Structure 1
Amino acid sequence: MKLPRLARLASLSILFAASLLLAACHHDESQPWQLSDISGHMPDLAFQLTNDEGKAVTAADYRGKIAVLYFGYTHCPDVCPLTLAHLHVVLQKLGKPADNVRILFVSVDPTRDTPAVMHDYVKAFDPRAVGLTGSATDIEALTKRYRAAFTREPGAADGSYEVSHSSGIYIFDESGKARLLATPADPQDKIVHDLQLMLGSGNAS
């Protein structure tokens, strides 16, 4: 008997958390970060995908910007739109410095998430959000690189289906180094605080 969608999503989240248990350092009061510090425990930002304008891009195209990486899909009924709205408010609170931040929304449903579909979806949340898609092989390799997880649910009679996925928010500095891990449950002000430090208003090096 197959697990209901919510149970499968919970299982993925547990697996995701467990896989990052050794990577995410415990919060150290001597450090300025309020999110989980994953510096040195996750690989640099690296990918070859297609952006929401249909252009082939790599991680190098986003060097010089803070990259906020999130895996999801446009047909997601709940966590993806809530997370993107959450991040939009974070960038609003940052003000002008948010121009140096890019939300990289990577689809785990490349069959349906064409560049055009991704463009309409992400831009509805924030102009600094970039939709990224690619082959199933490329997406799987990227999720494995960052220990994320996803699984396609059984399809309905009309051909529709959902994709359960983990919900980590990975934050990379301007040089592409993995620095912080957030979740959709983290308060906006915590994410704002750490992004401000990374953007140069503090000395969290």
Structure 2
Amino acid sequence: MKLSRFARLVCLLIAGIMLAACQRHDEAAPWQLTDISGHMPDLSFRLTDDQGKAVTAADYHGKVTLLYFGYTHCPDVCPLTLAHLHVVMQRLGNLADGARILFVSVDPSRDTPEALHAYANAFDPRVVGLTGAPSDIESLTKRYRAAFSREPDKSGGSYDVSHSSGIYIFDANGHARLLATPEDSQDKLIHDLHLLLSPGGAT
């Protein structure tokens, strides 16, 4: 699929974040994903979950959370990414019970809580769909330097939404720790999530 100018800018933005966050790797560095500790704010939001319940970041305190922006009508990257994360959760075994994947819709006009619930549960029980007012979603994407944009309508009134594809990983205290991309291998994700999910976690 040919990338639009917006999509190319999003890719450059994500690349810039990763370069800015990268620290010099040495033998003592535990992470295989991009370390964003100190480069991103703590997890904070006020949205509606896929059960129709108002939730905040505090509701996920004590869980390692993976924050991902997407939408249920996404034709490619969203389903592939969620399927990728499902396999990661399976491979983590019982440790995965300490994690939640927060799938924030960038298409709130179509993604009702009911639609999000059906979509999220089709991939993994640890995926939680989140939606809310457009202003709240826009504020959250800006908080983590993500981006999205509605594309022109197609015939029949359907449309796509271009969006960045970073996976933001927060520790059990809500501190931003890692940035992954859909291209990162399952082994890298499993390695770093294992560190965060193990008793005591990674400091």
Q: TM-score range by the shorter chain?
A: over 0.9
Structure-1 separation of matches of 2:202 and 2:110: 40
1:131 corresponds in structure 2 to 129
1:13-70 Cα deviation digits (max 9, x unpaired):
1123224432343434321111111111100000000000000000000000000000
> Unaligned stretches of 5+ in structure 2?
none
**Letter paired with 1:109:** D
SS in structure 1 opposite 2:82? helix
1:103: Cα distance to partner? 0.3
Structure-1 separation of matches of 2:158 and 2:95: 40
TM-score, normalization: structure 2? 0.94
CA RMSD of aligned residues (A): 1.5
Which segments of structure 1 move beyond 6 Å, counting only runs of 4 or more?
none
1:107: Cα distance to partner? 0.4
Structure-2 separation of matches of 1:119 and 1:194: 27
Number of residue-to-residue matches in the alignment: 202
**Letter paired with 1:120:** A
Structure-2 separation of matches of 1:27 and 1:7: 33
Which of 10, 27, 38 does residue 12 from structure 1 map onto?
A: 10
Q: Which moved more, 1:157-166 or 1:122-131?
A: 157-166
> Unaligned stretches of 5+ in structure 1?
none
TM-score, normalization: structure 1? 0.93
SS in structure 2 opposite 1:8? helix
1:201: Cα distance to partner? 5.8
Structure 1 residues 25 and 109: alpha-carbon distance in aligned structure 2, compared to 1, 3 A threshold: farther
User: Which residues in structure 2 correspond to 1:1-205 (within 5 Å)?
Assistant: 5-200=3-198, 204-205=202-203
Structure-1 separation of matches of 2:17 and 2:33: 17
SS in structure 2 opposite 1:54? coil
Structure 1 residues 147 and 96: alpha-carbon distance in aligned structure 2, compared to 1, 3 A threshold: same
Report if aligned partners of 1:170, 1:181 keep a CA contact under 8 Å in 2. Answer: yes
